[in-house]
Structure 1
Amino acid sequence: MKLSRPVSWFLLAFGVWSWIIWVTFIKNLAADGSGLAFDDGHPTAYFWVHLLLAVVSFVLGTAIGVIGLRGLRALRRTS
């Protein structure tokens, strides 16, 4: 199955967006000073749940971006 050029670019852009958003989220989570993420220096359940959410979203976003990149490469080879 071939992806169209606009769809491939959208998927690639989504992958890049995922890197920006989720890396920033993890940095902010690690630096949390509100007491939600850490209790006396130890990670809380809130921290672990949100870290898991961020990592899964990051991995899925990366996979989607790779699909977009592969779609663009396939279109370039056939042109």
Structure 2
Amino acid sequence: MDMTRRVSIFLVALAVLTIFEWINLGFNLADGHETSFYVVHGVLIAVNIILGLALGAVGVRGWMKGRA
């Protein structure tokens, strides 16, 4: 499947926003919650950062393919 440069840039921008947002959430978690709260949010943060990295990889790959 071919991807336009516009779609590639959108995917990379979305990946950067997603990664930034979830890392920011990780730093902003307040103290005083149960351990399960931190475990659940830690898993959510990890999964969403991995998805953001995958999305960025697809966007960069599409962008590089469009340049060739």
Query: What residue number does 2:20 align with?
Result: 20
Tell me how far apart the structure 2 counterparts of residues 50 and 19 of structure 1 sit (CA, whole Å). Answer: 14
Q: Deviations over 1:28-73 (max 9, x none)?
A: 12xx23x125xxxxxx101100110111011001100110011011
In structure 2, what residue type is equivalent to 1:55?
Answer: A
Counterpart among 57, 61, 66 of residue 70 in structure 1 = 61
Query: What residue number does 1:56 align with?
Result: 47
- Whichever of the two has the greater Rg, that structure is 1
Tell me how far apart the structure 1 counterparts of residues 58 and 39 of structure 2 sit (CA, whole Å). Answer: 29
Structure 1, unaligned runs of 5 or more: 38-43
TM-score scaled to structure 2, two decimals? 0.90
Taking only the aligned residue pairs, the percentage that are identical comes to: 37
Question: Which has the bigger relative contact order, CA under 8 A and spacing at least 6?
Answer: 2
Instruction: Judge conservation of contact 1:11–1:65 (CA < 8 Å) in 2.
Output: yes
RMSD: 1.1
TM-score scaled to structure 1, two decimals? 0.79
Tell me how far apart the structure 1 counterparts of residues 10 and 23 of structure 2 sit (CA, whole Å). Answer: 20
Instruction: Judge conservation of contact 2:3–2:62 (CA < 8 Å) in 1.
Output: yes
Aligned length: 68
**Structure 1 consecutive aligned stretches of length 4 or more whose deviation exceeds 3 Å:** none
